[in-house]
Amino acid sequence: MLHVIGIKNCDTIKKTKKWLTENEVEFEFIDLKKEPLSIDEIKELEYKVGLDVLVNKRGTTYRNLGLKDRDLSDEEMVGILQENQSMIKRPVLVLDEAVLVGYDKEAFKNFVGLEDLEDSPEV
């Protein structure tokens, strides 16, 4: 089962859910506000995709925390991510052991096995 991790009211999550629904891809949505990831889950994502991919450095939370000019270890950043999960780039798609981060319709097609799909609905 495909898991989509994000925040319910995020526009990118809304677009992702709409694309998946229109392309008849079953998924389970995990709302980080209601079901925050555990430290182990964050560490697993970090291991699979890296912090550079996982952390949304353009987001408000990252800027408000003043992290741009701080030299943080990966362990420190994982701790900050656990406390500030809105800083996780969205969406995070998890399918078995594979992880895809960010909104990209072409990548979605490949990730969920719809690479032969022509003219998918625009979102």
- In the predicted structure, residue 122 carries a pLDDT above the cut 90: no
5 close to 92: Cβ distance less than 8 angstroms: yes
CA torsion 96-57-34-82 (nearest 10°) is: 80
Active site residues: 10
- In the predicted structure, residue 119 carries a pLDDT above the cut 60: no
- What pLDDT is stored for residue 65 in this prediction? 95
Domains of the chain: 2-111 (3.40.30.10)
Instruction: Quick: pLDDT tens for 32-80.
Output: 999 999 999 999 999 999 999 999 999 999 999 999 889 999 999 999 9
56 close to 90: Cβ distance less than 8 angstroms: yes
Locate all alpha helices (DSSP H) within the chain, ordered by sequence: 11-22, 39-49, 51-54, 60-64, 74-83, 105-111
2 close to 20: Cβ distance less than 8 angstroms: yes
Number of residues written out for the chain: 123
- Residues near 102 by Cβ (< 8 Å), separated by ≥ 6? 53, 89, 90, 91
Please tell me the pTM assigned to this model: 0.90
- What pLDDT is stored for residue 120 in this prediction? 47
pLDDT band of 114, cuts 50, 70, 90: confident
Instruction: Quick: pLDDT tens for 6-26.
Output: 999 999 999 999 999 999 999
